Amino acid sequence: ENQTGIEPKPEPEPVPLISQLGTWHFTCDDDIIYPWNYTSHMIDRIEQYEGPVILGLHGITIQQDRNVLRTKRLPRGYYASRDVLMWSNALDHDIAVHIIGTGTMVYKPSEIGPLDCLIDMPVPNMADVWIGILAQKRKIPVISASRPKSWLFEIDGTFADSLYVVLAGEKQREKVVTREVESCLPWNVH
């Protein structure tokens, strides 16, 4: 280990960004430190599945009975309805979910079909939800991949400025997210 606490990469490893079936598309966050073997692990995991699949680490399952707008007594809405498999926690086996965090996502564009950010993501800063909705409409499995604890690291001091912190407290934003999530009820795991 070095000063960052990250295990150094032992030997250069070829990273196959092109497979026989098409090009991989990885989406990443600028506030996460990814391990040296991230791409090879994610490709190994996604290749366990046949057909289109969206794979990532930060998995979200919608508890549909809690996905209604806030009432006077009970916290409701998108944020209250989520069961989250945090990307930083260990997961000993892959789990099918409804939504994947786009900061840890991989898929094959040739398998999931076209994605037009202006059409498929009409409201900014909701990419996770839009990808989940796209997967629901196209019946594409969304998988939270197995991984060891603390395999990825958040860069110190970045959480306070993260989109989650900035947007989670905005009531109007939550109404928009909740409305979009409700538009796909019932959510299914494919």
pTM: 0.79
Picking from 174, 145, 186, the residue whose alpha carbon sits closest to that of residue 77 is: 174
Burial of 90 (0-12, 13-18, 19+ CB in 10 A): exposed
User: With bands split at pLDDT 50, 70 and 90, how would you rate the model's confidence at 63?
Assistant: confident
What distance in Å separates the CA atoms of residue 4 and residue 162, rounded to the nearest whole number? 21
Write down the pLDDT at residue 171. 73
pLDDT digits (tens, 9 = 90+) for 170-180: 677 778 888 88
User: With bands split at pLDDT 50, 70 and 90, how would you rate the model's confidence at 53?
Assistant: very high
